[in-house]
Structure 1
Amino acid sequence: MTSDTIALRQLIKNHKLIPFIGAGFSENAGLPSTLALTQKLLKHFNLDADEPIPPDTDLLHLTEYLKIIHDGSSTPVLNRLRSCLPDQDVALSRPHQLLAQLGASIIYTTNYDRLLERSFAELAMPYKVIVTTADIIQTTGCSEVQIVKFHGSLEVDDSLVLTESDYYKRLEFVTPIDIKLRADSLGKSLLFIGYSFSDFNIRYLWFKLRRMMYEVDPRDIPDSYILLFEPGHVTSVLLESMGINTIDLSRYEGLDRCEKLASFLQAVQP
């Protein structure tokens, strides 16, 4: 058992750890990666045939473009995303089940799918989905695990961070759900799973969080963690300078990333 594993188990036991879940986590259940999702949209809207759109086009750029050519409507993109993320038709992965059993009181995610909710439901564990301001207001007690959909839900169109414009608006960090993240994360550690260091989204989110805590003594801000597969030395040093410890997923047992992730989550169970 590594020192990071021991530290995480203690944080979980003391309710001081907030998992922050990205798209890579849902790939374990067979849902498409961000790149695959982008390619599906390109093909569906026939943009890979005649339009000179690079194959590595960013998803936010693409959804912004699709909204423009559909007269400012996001409906066509939303309908296609719903068909591309059929989370009711896929089997839950072992990591999803283990995450639900982790004992965290709050879980944040930027994913649109409902696999986390299904995990709690199938395990008969109480949970509360937080998407809107009304959801925050109506949150009562601490018996339910809060699943905070930081980029919105496909079931609540207005909540979605879907296009590049939506994303830039969210970077202002002034919405109630942003304020909630700041309040929830005070004195706690975040555990990023399903992201990469190249994900500007997470780097900027972390930068904004640290800036919003300017009045807090840096010595009183606990370190956070990110789970990466074979992170390089440069990446580890850069993240450490930001207050994020890297955990190498490749060191855990398993034949593939899904099994290794399950081994990690099993190891940190309190």
Structure 2
Amino acid sequence: MKHNPKKFSAEIDAFIDRYVTDLRRGTAAVFAGAGLSVSSGYVNWAELLRGIAAELDLDVDRETNLVAVAQYHVNERLNRSHINQKLIDEFSVGHDINENQEILASLPIDIYWTTNYDRMIERALEAAGKVVDRKYTVNHLKSTVRCPDAVVYKMHGDVEDADNAVLTKDDYEGYFRDRELFVTTLAGHLLSKTFLFLGFSFTDPNIDYILSRIRVALKKQPKSHYCILRREVRKPREKLANFKYRQKQQYYFVKDLARLGIQALMVDEFSDITGILAAVQTRYRAQTVFISGSASEFYPWTADDAADLIESLADRLIRKNLTIVSGFGLGVGPSVIAGALQTIQRHPQRYSREQLQTFPFPLVDGARPRRSRMYRQHREFMLEKSGIAIFLFGNNEDGKGDVEDSEGVLQEFEIAKQMGVHVIPVGATGWVAKRIAGELSPTVKERSRQFQKAFAAAMDENVSVEETVKAAMTMVDEYCRL
């Protein structure tokens, strides 16, 4: 959550909501082209072949069919060893993971397709702690890595196997013979998943053929997918007539993408793509609420009222189709589970048990520093999943029978701030929650008037359980809309 909320067009805003829904359903996928790796320092196709074209006395900037240029070079040299070496030289060099790749890797996307030869997607996923199954030969399709978090299909091959990378007209012409299973697998995913095409130019004849075949099979009503494109901009010293012509070309191109079921989302700058992905990440995480709290005693509440508060809050979160994450905190966790499960069990067709994720703290023997490290990592793990954190009570016994503020709940607050998680303290429950509310009070003026009233109500000890829950949910609603 590194980006401030930005006002998007209605079209892009609707896409963000729909893609977040697909993420929650497990039906979101990504198709990555060369543009996704360019900001990491990798060359695009034109730059890869610039020297190759020069050897043929051709200007790569004047060529519209770069696959043909690669084939011309092979025809002249009678082998492709020089092109293979060029691919190895350009794509074996390590580069930093860029922000777009980092955001995508943080999301629950389990299917990636790419025409890229580099390994940036895999590296980003692994850096996010995910198990990756990389497939770039037909034989790879026959086996599966144990419990993968994501599968990366590299339909044009990998830098590690440059001899068999798809580069020339010969390779493209034999694609449906040599890599038919990739075609079949991609077609299946295009029918069952919602794809976001990023950094992809749609000049690949294989993709065009597959999309066209799916459109025909579905009687000209293909499944909807998305791509992000930059609007044409006028180049320095470019004639206005030429710029207008390129605009017209893009207009017809976008209309043709729509024919294939791909909605183009238009942006002014490539950097806007990062803002869109960050908004997807923010809204997805806002669908998961971490409930932080512990209580050896519930003063100023009675135990029954406290249980009613927590159960009612969990019930409302589930009814809003949000996911609850809980560390099963002392005195708080059981009521979270009870409130969520009662609602899920009463309406199993509407709500899912997956909306309740519990991660009890492990019992660790040994020295206190070892326990502290494990507990902090556990808290970070839970908060990484969440976009909103609600804080309730926050006290425990100190070992001598006295009740004090919970250091664990305070640590969860600090971690939430560091991760950019939206914090909602129910100050009326006292203890750490009240301390957090006091710290955040000056910042509430930045929020809506409705939010400010809800924040104040959640701090008022004289407000009823029902009104306190309503106030907390009002704040949740506003953060979900960001």
1:237 is matched with 255
2:415 is matched with none
**Aligned counterpart in structure 1 of residue 180 of structure 2, from 169, 175, 180:** 175
**Aligned counterpart in structure 1 of residue 152 of structure 2, from 147, 150, 165:** 147
Residue pair 2:114, 2:155 contacting (<8 A) in 1 also: yes
Please say if 1:248 is aligned against 2:255. Answer: no
**Aligned counterpart in structure 1 of residue 113 of structure 2, from 108, 117, 125:** 108
Residue 222 of structure 1: CA displacement? 2.4
Distance in 2, matches of 1:156 and 1:34, equals 18
Residue 173 of structure 1: CA displacement? 8.7
Residue 174 of structure 1: CA displacement? 6.0
Distance in 2, matches of 1:86 and 1:241, equals 38
- Are residues 170 and 115 of structure 1, via their aligned partners in 2, closer, same or farther at CA, if it must alter by over 3 Å? same
Gaps of 5+ in 1: 251-255
Please say if 1:85 is aligned against 2:91. Answer: yes
Give per-residue Cα distances to partners, 1:4-26, cap 9 Å, x unaligned.
11111111221212211111111
Give per-residue Cα distances to partners, 1:90-144, cap 9 Å, x unaligned.
2221111112112111100001111111112222211110112221111156533
**Aligned counterpart in structure 1 of residue 215 of structure 2, from 195, 210, 214:** 210
2:136 is matched with 131
Give per-residue Cα distances to partners, 1:138-158, cap 9 Å, x unaligned.
115653300000111121245
Q: Aligned to 1:186, what secondary structure does the other structure show?
A: helix
1:61 is matched with 68
Distance in 1, matches of 2:138 and 2:177, equals 17
Q: Aligned to 2:133, what secondary structure does the other structure show?
A: strand
* TM norm structure 2: 0.48
Distance in 2, matches of 1:25 and 1:162, equals 19
- Are residues 42 and 262 of structure 1, via their aligned partners in 2, closer, same or farther at CA, if it must alter by over 3 Å? same
Residue 202 of structure 1: CA displacement? 4.0
Quick check: which one's helix share is greater?
Answer: 2
Residue 170 of structure 1: CA displacement? 1.9
Residue pair 1:111, 1:151 contacting (<8 A) in 2 also: yes
Query: More displaced, 147-156 or 176-185?
Result: 176-185
Residue pair 2:125, 2:132 contacting (<8 A) in 1 also: yes
Residue pair 1:126, 1:145 contacting (<8 A) in 2 also: yes
Give per-residue Cα distances to partners, 1:171-198, cap 9 Å, x unaligned.
5696111111122232222221112356
Gaps of 5+ in 2: 1-7, 233-249, 285-482
RMSD after superposition:
2.5
Distance in 1, matches of 2:114 and 2:48, equals 17
Please say if 1:267 is aligned against 2:279. Answer: yes
Distance in 2, matches of 1:105 and 1:128, equals 10
Distance in 1, matches of 2:36 and 2:181, equals 26
- Are residues 177 and 229 of structure 1, via their aligned partners in 2, closer, same or farther at CA, if it must alter by over 3 Å? same
Please say if 1:6 is aligned against 2:17. Answer: yes
- Aligned pairs, number: 252
